[in-house]
Amino acid sequence: ERAELALLSSAPAVTLDGVAITLNANIELPDEAAAACRAGAEGVGLFRTEFLFMGRNHLPDEEEQYRAYAEAVKGMAGRPVTIRTLDIGADKALLNEPAVATNPALGLRAIRYCLAHPDIFATQLRAILRASAHGQVRILIPMVAHMHEVHATRQALASAKAELQARGQPFDDQVQLGAMVEIPATAIAIEPFAENLDFLSIGTNDLIQYTLAIDRGDTEVAHLYDSQHPAVLRLIAQTINAGVRYGKPVAVCGEMAGDATLTRLLLGMGLTQFSMHASQMLEVKREIRSAHSNALRAKVAIALNRAERVDLKAL
């Protein structure tokens, strides 16, 4: 089976009925980019930058961040690299900031944290923009629920660009801005996000947590954490459909994308962009190459209408 998977690595990710699927990699450290490239990733769909910030007592400065982001961008050799801005808080706390929130998963995390700490955000945005001089960079903001967070991010991005321009430092002025869809409210009222952003990426890990009110790290309720719950699937499907209507690419970058047992389900919802750890890519690709997208679309549409837990064996 190992040999069979190895053969797959050079084969395209295309369904039996000819739908081309993009397989991107999730990375946590910059040196994983080159490995993802070798594993056949078409790009980085999620660079979780918080790992540069965790387990240390002082924040990385602009220069250190720039070097890290540039390393990932160069490692992908011209392929797109989606850099997510700091997703700190909740399960990913900074060492020098003792948790004060009673419900950190509902607290000042991710984009909320960044907008509340404009200097930290500006430093990261400048570092990301500088890295964009070395390849194709996309900026992804986590935990967005409000359009004003998107507007505030665009303003912060414009200021970061102005500062770099004043310094005479190069960057890609066309760098795309996208948002994670991982809060149910965002998926339910997705239209303005689909309209105003360049791309969307569904974070199923948090989307499931918040939709089902299950702490993703709490083992006592882990049995209730269910990616096949119809409410979760409807939110995902609705987001994918909005992307089609507004002509914006939609990816899934949560763990669901790398789970080969769910590949047919996601294809059946019309998903064409998957982002996962590089080690999961070949198994997912094998599922894609043996799937008939149109037949799955029909079956999944019926399943979602029934509002019962989706039975994967029926797909």
User: Residue 206 or 287: which CB sits closer to ligand PEP?
Assistant: 206
Among residues 124 and 293, whose Cβ is nearest to Mg ion? Answer: 124
The option from ligand PEP, Mg ion, none interacting with 48 (CB < 5 to 8 A, set by class) reads ligand PEP
Q: Return the number of other C-beta atoms located less than 10 Å from residue 188's C-beta.
A: 12
User: What residue ranges in 99-174 does DSSP mark as E strands?
Assistant: 137-141
Numbered residues of the known binding site for phosphoenolpyruvate: 48, 84, 205-206, 216
Secondary structure of 58-77 in HEC code, one letter for each residue: CCCCHHHHHHHHHHHHHHCC
- Which tokens go with 150? 């998107």
The entry of ligand PEP, Mg ion, none near residue 159 (CB within 5 to 8 angstroms by kind) is none
Q: How far is the CB of 54 from ligand PEP (least distance, A)?
A: 12
Residues 157-196, one symbol each (x = binds Mg ion by CB under 5 A, - = not), give: -------------------------x--------------
Q: Interacting stretch for Mg ion, rule CB under 5 A, among 57-65, 92-100, 198-206, 291-299? A: 198-206
For residue 13, what are the contacts with CB-CB under 8 A and spacing of at least 6? Answer: 20, 21, 22, 23, 284, 285, 288, 289
183 vs 310, beta carbon nearer ligand PEP: 183
Q: Which residues bind ligand PEP (CB under 6 A)?
A: 46, 48, 87, 182, 203-206, 253-254
Among 32, 42, 206, 287, binds Mg ion (CB under 5 A): 206
CB of 45 to ligand PEP, least distance (A): 9
* Residues touching Mg ion, count (CB under 5 A): 3
Asked if 253 is an active-site residue, the reply is yes
Rounded-to-integer distance, Cα 24 and Cα 202, Å: 13
Point out the catalytic residue in the list 27, 127, 190, 253. Answer: 253
Backbone angles phi, psi at 226, to 5 degrees: -130, 110
Q: At what angle do helices 293-306 and 230-246 cross, to 10 degrees?
A: 130
Alpha carbons 140 and 84: distance in angstroms, whole number:
4
Is residue 203 at the binding interface for Mg ion, with CB under 5 A as the rule? yes
Provide the minimum distance between the beta carbon of 63 and ligand PEP in the complex, in angstroms, as a whole number.
25
Q: Which does 204 bind (CB under 5 to 8 A by kind): Mg ion, ligand PEP, none?
A: ligand PEP
Choice between 46 and 266, CB closer to ligand PEP: 46
CB 36 within 8 A of CB 278: yes
Cβ contacts of residue 246 below 8 Å, gap of 6+?
191, 194, 195
Whichever of 48 and 79 has its CB closer to ligand PEP, that residue is 48
Q: Which does 283 bind (CB under 5 to 8 A by kind): Mg ion, ligand PEP, none?
A: none
What number of H helices and E strands is found in the chain?
A: 13, 8
Beta bridge partners of 22: 273
Handedness of CA 43, 204, 31, 52 (dihedral sign): positive
Binding site for Mg ion (CB under 5 A): 182, 203, 206
Catalytic center residues: 253
